[in-house]
Structure 1
Amino acid sequence: MTLCAVSLVGCSEVDPGEQAGDIALWLDQAPSAVRDDGDELAVLAAVADRGEEAGGSEISVTFEEPVTIRRVELECFGDGSVEGLLGLTSAAGAVDTTSARASCTEGVLELDIPESSREGVTKVSFSSVASTEKGAWRVIVR
């Protein structure tokens, strides 16, 4: 399993030390699962600032060999929601982009990935384009 994470600094009305500690604790916990059908291929995670602009945080992982994706899940921490773009790059260089929006209070969201985009994946990326509150997000690739 590959884990990628990034942290962005921003302003908040909540005690930043306490909030940062809660976010760090959530990021250290094992990802939730809609269905546990095996090990994760990769986990991408980042802290998100409220109102984050497109391109605010993009994380990607490149696989040594092409993989088959069973499913991709998005979950977030906090009271708001996070919106982003998932990119799957094939061995042929084609990129399939899927938009996603998850409410942090509703739990794990399984993304709708076309069957044709699941095989021969060499790279997975997620770009957070908006967040309604400061929090964190995690994309689990299985």
Structure 2
Amino acid sequence: MTVAFNRKSEKQVRRHLRKNMPQAEAALWSRLRRKGVEGFKFRRKYSVENFVLDFYCPGLKLAIEVDGDSHFAVGAQERDLTRQEAIESYGIKVLRFTNTDVFENLDGVMERILEHARPPLSPLLVKEGK
């Protein structure tokens, strides 16, 4: 069986990326760390196959990607789509935010993440005739 998560071959890359996080990722990490989302633990720079996720919550099977300017370069969207499809093939949901989203609306970003952490509400029971 092939190991797909946090391969040893990616360890140095993950360590380097953790030490050199962009400001937007650091800002979001300050809110995600220490079980900051409904008690769920997030990991930063977690790898799936040869792709390193910005943040990953195993309990929710939720990946969070913060996209900087390089994600808007020619060809980047195709690479991101290929990457996302590979990650989603493991049943992992991917949420994407831009640096601008994080800097200008961190509370909104957190609310969107919280939507995935909270169980869905049951539909209200409606009495007949009302």
Question: Normalising to structure 1: TM-score of the pair?
Answer: 0.29
Choose between structure 1 and 2 for higher RCO, CA contacts under 8 A separated by at least 6 residues.
1
Q: Which has the higher helix share?
A: 2
Name which one, 1 or 2, has greater alpha-carbon Rg: 2
Question: Normalising to structure 2: TM-score of the pair?
Answer: 0.30
Q: Which has the higher strand share?
A: 1
